[in-house]
Structure 1
Amino acid sequence: MAPSALRSPPQAPPVFTATPESIIVDTKRIINESRASQDRVASAVTADAATFGNVLLPLSHDENIMALEAHILGFYQSVSTDSTLRDASTEAEKLMDEFSIEASMREDLFKLVAAALAKKEELDPESQKLLEKEHKDFVRNGLGIPAGPQRDRFKEIKKRLSQISIEFQKNLNEEKGGIWFSREELDGVPEDVLGGFQKGEEGSENAGKVFLTFKYPDLFPTLKYATNAETRQKVFVANENKCNQNVPLFKEAVLLRDEAARLLGYPNHATFRLEDKMAKTPKTVNDFLGDLRSRLKDGGLSERKALKAIKDEYLKSHNASYVPDEHYFLWDHRFFDRVMLEKDYSLDHQLIAEYFPLQTTIAGMLQIFEELFGLVFVEITGEERDKISPSGKGGDIVWHEEVQVFSVWDDEGEGSGFVGYLYLDLFPRTGKYGHAANFNLQPGFIKKDGTRRYPATALVCNFSKPTAKKPSLLKHDEVVTLFHELGHGIHDLVARTTYSRFHGTNTVRDFVEAPSQMLENWCWTPSQLKALSKHYSTLSPAYKEAWLEAQKDNATAGEPEEKIPDALIQNLIKTKHVNDALFNLRQLHFGIFDMTVHQPKTHEELKAMDFSATYNELRKQIAQLDGPEVLGKGDTWGNGQATFGHLIGGYDAGYYGYLSSQVYSTDMFYSVFKSNPMNPKEGRRYRHTVLERGGSQDEMTTLKQFLGREPSTDAFYKELGLA
């Protein structure tokens, strides 16, 4: 716990008091202020007189100030329980995107930026990068196209793509689908999961049934534990079709991207997108994905064969008349993967989860970051919220009563200064973003007066809610997810860039996951798993009583250890790469589908492409699991691309980055942390060399500075057993 002197941050947190009306008013105000700022530069500076100081600097200050409100105005659509507020936030994002397109195509500003670039002034490296990037962005936003019909068409495309992106994500956030099942149909699903399902009203057609949504805390345990294969199939197929209104939006977006890239002179969208990434060219990406696919193919077939044997043995033991066939279905995989782990590795995910109550796990994670990076986290609760709130009302500094907020500080060794604010929004709600993600609320940057503006960052997740008898308990994969997203949050907090443009996770897409992926390794380290764990029955007498009640039919149950037993840790670690080839082939399916739709030979070829069939055919070929197509349902039985928010939300021609970032993250971990993950000297070096830089310099330069050499794929393939 930080000393009380650290409890008064030098900067107040943002407030979340918007109304549907104020969101639109504030959005129009900041747009008008920004437009006026751009107009001032355009009217006051001539091309002959243009410099970094009189063109780029005022534009960057305006961008910094606008971001302080803009991110939050657009954030409400992902977290608010008020549908009218979400709608207003969505409209605000549309207005801001339209203004961004307008600003990015201002020829008067482009000429001034080009003139400033031609001056070749001596600038610090981050300012030089800002100048070069601003110039390149104008070109990539259509100002390299001669004024006239083609440039006008390009601008139309940009506006429509913005609208599609917002509508697509809104459809995913607002999705309320699900299926009513009888308790019998959900046999095997843990009672603490079933207890959270909505129950059918007496006298209605659903009396005695429960409603399974497609939210992760409902979906994944059902696919993992439901013994009825028809139930699993029904759930899986319905989930693939939960947002079919996105099907035409996906096709329109991909076609418009291709058209826009060709207007700019690129052969396809992938070439356009990759030009400023670490990979640079589609060939680099395709070669990497192709090499990994060939390396994983035999392992995938071997894993499938072993899982199929587990399936046949399991079904034969439950039904003597069972006749094996050749199929191993998509909806079988989570179930028989679990059965294998329990049978061959004595791994009980439900038992492991008992040692990872959400709140104590978070506390343990924050302690790891404190020790490693020299940070201090102080949760702000009760009256402290009132004191720190600009309005004097503590409820104003969060958007929902369940949200936790922390002030973050440097420890004494790092100077005891303020770092920023961290928010945790951990449980599902209607209308809330449905996955796990880190959102920057306010970036950090250097203000006009030379002082620092501190960041605010939020983790938005969907873990199971606590009940009277149990706290929220995390499966191990959820522990990994939480640590990963916290890694993004730390990246966002400790960045020390001059300009908000490069703050925190504003790096190229094929590097941005690497810092968080590296930190996932701590979740597979015995000492850290032990430190993070605490059996939930030790948290309160009520939980202890509930645990004892749950054990009443278990004659062998003894008192649980407070910390996770070493034997359980070892069993877990043995499973790290079990069925890893199939997992990575699934990731390859996403990455190869992404590259397939974004690099057609011709625009006509793309028009003729059936995206659903392509998605499902590639999955069958790459992931090596059977879908309904082998039951005569054809290749358009599901529309998984319509649920694939990444490809509309910024990872287009970039999903490969999840795999390529693992090359960098594994290299960093093996080279620096594997022998001693809690080495504070290396932790601080990593903080200052990698995390602080954000996107302010070339990411390959950052990597080489930290590693002391060129990055290598050796550790990545060694870790996967593919060296």
Structure 2
Amino acid sequence: MAPERYRTPPQLPPRFTATPESLIEDTKRIIERSRGVQDHIVKSLTPETATFKNTLLPVAHDDNKMALETHIIGFYQAVSTDQKLRDASTEAEKMLDDFSIESSMREDVFRLVDAVAKKKEELDPESQRLLEKDHKSYIRNGLGVPAGPKRDRFKEIKKRLSELSIQFQKNLNEENGGIWFTPEELDGVPEDLVASLKKGEGENEGKVWLTFKYPDLFPTLKYANNAETRKRVFVENENKCNQNVPLFREAILLRDEAARILGYNNHAEFRIEDKMAKTPKTVDDFLSDLRTRLAPGGKAEIEKLIELKKQDLKQRGISDGSDSHYFLWDHRYYDRLMLEKDYSLDQQKIAEYFPLSTTIEGMLKIFEELFGMVFVEIVGKDRDALAESGSGSDIVWHEDVQVFSVWDDEGEGSGFIGYLYLDLFPREGKYGHAANFNLQPGFIQEDGKRRYPATALVCNFSKPTAKKPSLLKHDEVVTLFHELGHGIHDLVSRTTYARFHGTNTVRDFVEAPSQMLENWCWTPAQLRSLSNHYSYLSPEYEASYKESSGASQKPSQQIPDEYITSLINTKHVNDALFNLRQLHFGTFDMTVHEPASHEEIEKLDVTTTYNKLRKEIAQLDGPEVLGSGEGEKKWGWGNGQATFGHLIGGYDAGYYGYLSSQVYSADMFYTVFKSDPMNGKEGRRYRHTVLERGGSREEMSLLEEFLGRPPSTEAFYKELGISA
């Protein structure tokens, strides 16, 4: 049970009791209410009488209220086990998107907003930002285009792009493919994974079903000794959502057309103008410079890995001629082998020290100490007490979900912060990657009282078994820190308007806070504090460990120093290849979104472009070197763009942000935290200066205030070992 003072939060958590019917009814009600607010403003005001208070404020208050319901309405499609509920959520999201397009193109409302903008009233900084953003948004949504066929076409495009985005993500969420393998074909893959796979019957008797979900996919690519198995898994994973291929092509064509209607040269120019980078040239120069700096390192890393591959094949007596190539499906395998051979790094052994439950506990303690927070898990009767129905199952969407109430510690005033949810294991129909979802934003209500946020981490870690708990590889620990970094940003934000809450910042900054927190996964004291060997969790796990390892006694409870040293020594091993992979994604994104003409994008073979760029930038071979022919025959072996949810889900002409925000995250960590990662005074300063303000201020000004100077690339390049 939670301590008494933490048992009665001032706000009940959201409920997850929707039905397919209620989702649609609620969506219609919300849209009707919101349309009514806009209609009332237009009916009762003229450009002469319009002010911020009577024009923008009612809409902002309505946006706040909408967000409390609509984020959850759309969330069901990512997490519900009920197909009908997921379908209704998808339908509701389409209705909301259509209404959003309708609202953003209301000329009658825009005339009033435009009049307010010209009056230059004295406003507080956040309200001024809201006015500027809203005014610009109407223009970016087509109201700078004269009424008529062009504007009608623009609206048509916006609606179709919304449909494409929803369908694309739905296809990814619902993807349930896989491959039947014999246990022999999976030689080398961890036994507990193979044992957990679905067993075949009939024609598949004696085989197991390997899915493309991360807990199956990554260990197979890392450990399967059979190169043909790895190749098949890799290639089929690239083709798992080929129904998205035409959707992706249509999206990039429509985006380009829409940008040109608005008077931009291409979609990238349209998207980047309100980001930190401001122009595509800035982005292209950054990516080009990074590629020039990283390419030699990538080449050198591949040479070492090919040597390792040659030794490995020779030892195993394999002479199939593949030793002169370093394939896409080789990389996770030989990268892992190099870490084991050259750095004595056994990822499976290290994972034994990071059971999911105790790792989360340790991670929350780090954030408590750093940011002045308290996390209290809500279980049992406390859950029932916080559910209006009296049933605790109403405040989660699945029995696996954990929920925490989050508070300020005494030094921060002991106030309530919000709710954090953890949904950590894969299941059918669930979002397949790792992400943070805002369920309800925080904001100031019309009565002046604060509304508190709720945020959810949705991940796909391996499920516990009778013999082992869920054990995290180190890269999964990093993922957890990264996504909880977004969650913390979401929780501690203190903005007036939901529009600017939490992670609602520009895309080329939003990753920086999370990327910075990844550094705590690479510092000895923090790794030690997070670790707890799974054999200490229960007598059953202890017996299981002794049986599987053949050991007569338990190992040390915390991770040994030599493991930590080995792990930290590997931080930058094959780093150039990792960043070249990110560079491929960023460069492909820019290539398809900044064509010289619309005809150019119409003629573009998207699949060939994706695979060719990967070969040129990442320097890894694909099946194209094994076959013959040109064009599609050579490069059409896989459609990676069809699984690239980021480019349909908001990162279009923005994926470079993962790399550019590393510049900011490295600068912040090296400047402020490197010498003392657990400095609570600096942690709280960071919380209040950067995280708390969400998107309510220019991101560059927040950075400069925190750093005490403009950001620099020096730490970023130094971290990569490529400083000039």
Report the 3-state secondary structure (helix = DSSP H, G, I; strand = E; otherwise coil) of the residue aligned with 1:272.
Answer: helix
| Equivalent residue number for residue 630 of structure 2 | none
Cα deviation, 1:535-591, whole Å, max 9, x if unaligned, reads 000010000000000022x6xx75311000010000000000000000000000000
Cα deviation, 1:505-547, whole Å, max 9, x if unaligned, reads 0000000000000000000000000000000000100000000
Label 1:320 to 1:511 Cα distance change in 2 as closer, same or farther (>3 A): closer
Q: Please tell me whether residue 312 in structure 1 is matched to residue 307 in structure 2.
A: no
| Equivalent residue number for residue 589 of structure 1 | 584
CA contact (8 A) 2:180 2:209 kept: yes
- Shift, 1:324, TM fit: 6.1
| Equivalent residue number for residue 55 of structure 1 | 55
CA contact (8 A) 1:2 1:376 kept: no
CA distance in 1, matches of 2:192, 2:484: 26
| Equivalent residue number for residue 382 of structure 2 | 384
Deviates more, 1:269-278 or 1:35-44: 35-44
Q: Please tell me whether residue 485 in structure 1 is matched to residue 483 in structure 2.
A: yes
CA distance in 2, matches of 1:7, 1:491: 24
Correspondence 1:312-391 to 2 at 5 A: 312-319=310-317, 321=319, 325-391=323-389
CA distance in 2, matches of 1:323, 1:374: 58
Gaps of 5+ in 1: none
- Shift, 1:2, TM fit: 6.5
CA distance in 2, matches of 1:443, 1:325: 53
- Shift, 1:195, TM fit: 2.0
CA contact (8 A) 2:2 2:378 kept: no
2:593 to 588, 593, 598: 598
CA distance in 2, matches of 1:324, 1:331: 12
| Equivalent residue number for residue 662 of structure 1 | 662
- Shift, 1:325, TM fit: 4.0
Q: Please tell me whether residue 267 in structure 1 is matched to residue 301 in structure 2.
A: no
| Equivalent residue number for residue 287 of structure 2 | 289
Report the 3-state secondary structure (helix = DSSP H, G, I; strand = E; otherwise coil) of the residue aligned with 2:406.
Answer: strand
CA distance in 2, matches of 1:390, 1:143: 45
- Shift, 1:391, TM fit: 1.7
1:442 to 440, 443, 459: 440
CA distance in 2, matches of 1:307, 1:49: 71
CA contact (8 A) 1:380 1:406 kept: yes
Correspondence 1:370-519 to 2 at 5 A: 370-519=368-517
CA contact (8 A) 1:241 1:640 kept: yes
| Equivalent residue number for residue 546 of structure 1 | 544
Cα deviation, 1:63-122, whole Å, max 9, x if unaligned, reads 000110000000000000000000000000000000000000000110110101111011
CA distance in 2, matches of 1:322, 1:97: 54
| Equivalent residue number for residue 577 of structure 1 | 572
CA contact (8 A) 2:546 2:553 kept: no
CA contact (8 A) 1:505 1:512 kept: yes
Correspondence 1:609-628 to 2 at 5 A: 609-628=604-623
Label 1:322 to 1:257 Cα distance change in 2 as closer, same or farther (>3 A): closer
CA distance in 2, matches of 1:265, 1:326: 50
CA contact (8 A) 1:355 1:536 kept: yes
CA distance in 1, matches of 2:466, 2:102: 53
CA distance in 1, matches of 2:492, 2:44: 36
CA distance in 2, matches of 1:551, 1:532: 23
Label 1:263 to 1:393 Cα distance change in 2 as closer, same or farther (>3 A): same
Label 1:321 to 1:69 Cα distance change in 2 as closer, same or farther (>3 A): closer
CA contact (8 A) 2:542 2:554 kept: no
Gaps of 5+ in 2: 628-632
CA distance in 1, matches of 2:497, 2:318: 68
CA distance in 1, matches of 2:28, 2:52: 28
- Shift, 1:683, TM fit: 0.3
Cα deviation, 1:478-516, whole Å, max 9, x if unaligned, reads 000001000000000000000000000000000000000
CA distance in 2, matches of 1:596, 1:6: 52
CA contact (8 A) 1:279 1:285 kept: yes
Cα deviation, 1:225-273, whole Å, max 9, x if unaligned, reads 0000000000000000000000000000000000000000000000000
CA distance in 1, matches of 2:280, 2:671: 29
- Shift, 1:197, TM fit: 1.1
- Shift, 1:393, TM fit: 1.1
CA distance in 1, matches of 2:406, 2:389: 21
State the AA in 1 paired with 2:501: H
- Shift, 1:321, TM fit: 4.9
CA contact (8 A) 2:2 2:377 kept: no
State the AA in 1 paired with 2:655: Y
Q: Please give the TM-score of this superposition, normalised by the length of structure 2.
A: 0.98
CA distance in 1, matches of 2:52, 2:528: 53
CA distance in 1, matches of 2:474, 2:2: 29
2:215 to 217, 224, 230: 217
- Shift, 1:45, TM fit: 1.2
CA contact (8 A) 1:316 1:322 kept: no
Report the 3-state secondary structure (helix = DSSP H, G, I; strand = E; otherwise coil) of the residue aligned with 1:467.
Answer: coil
Q: Please tell me whether residue 112 in structure 1 is matched to residue 112 in structure 2.
A: yes
Report the 3-state secondary structure (helix = DSSP H, G, I; strand = E; otherwise coil) of the residue aligned with 2:431.
Answer: coil
CA distance in 1, matches of 2:197, 2:117: 60
**Structure 1 runs, 4 residues or longer, greater than 6 Å off:** none
CA contact (8 A) 2:313 2:323 kept: no
| Equivalent residue number for residue 181 of structure 2 | 181
State the AA in 1 paired with 2:460: N
CA contact (8 A) 2:355 2:533 kept: yes
Label 1:403 to 1:173 Cα distance change in 2 as closer, same or farther (>3 A): same
Label 1:208 to 1:620 Cα distance change in 2 as closer, same or farther (>3 A): same
Deviates more, 1:342-351 or 1:36-45: 36-45
CA distance in 1, matches of 2:503, 2:432: 21
- Shift, 1:323, TM fit: 5.2
CA distance in 1, matches of 2:237, 2:217: 8
Correspondence 1:4-153 to 2 at 5 A: 4-153=4-153
CA contact (8 A) 2:180 2:207 kept: yes
Report the 3-state secondary structure (helix = DSSP H, G, I; strand = E; otherwise coil) of the residue aligned with 1:718.
Answer: helix
CA contact (8 A) 1:15 1:397 kept: yes
- Shift, 1:25, TM fit: 0.4
Q: What CA RMSD, in Å, does the superposition of the two structures yield over aligned residues?
A: 0.9
State the AA in 1 paired with 2:196: G
| Equivalent residue number for residue 718 of structure 2 | 718
- Shift, 1:3, TM fit: 3.5
State the AA in 2 paired with 1:592: T
CA distance in 1, matches of 2:533, 2:51: 62
State the AA in 1 paired with 2:647: L
| Equivalent residue number for residue 165 of structure 2 | 165
Label 1:463 to 1:590 Cα distance change in 2 as closer, same or farther (>3 A): same
State the AA in 1 paired with 2:64: N
State the AA in 1 paired with 2:599: E
Q: Please give the TM-score of this superposition, normalised by the length of structure 1.
A: 0.99
CA distance in 1, matches of 2:677, 2:119: 47
Report the 3-state secondary structure (helix = DSSP H, G, I; strand = E; otherwise coil) of the residue aligned with 1:378.
Answer: strand
CA distance in 2, matches of 1:321, 1:621: 27
CA contact (8 A) 1:2 1:377 kept: no
Report the 3-state secondary structure (helix = DSSP H, G, I; strand = E; otherwise coil) of the residue aligned with 1:402.
Answer: coil
2:559 to 546, 557, 564: 564
CA distance in 2, matches of 1:648, 1:565: 43
CA contact (8 A) 1:73 1:92 kept: yes
Report the 3-state secondary structure (helix = DSSP H, G, I; strand = E; otherwise coil) of the residue aligned with 1:50.
Answer: coil
Cα deviation, 1:657-710, whole Å, max 9, x if unaligned, reads 000000000000000000000000000000000000000000000000000000
Report the 3-state secondary structure (helix = DSSP H, G, I; strand = E; otherwise coil) of the residue aligned with 2:461.
Answer: coil
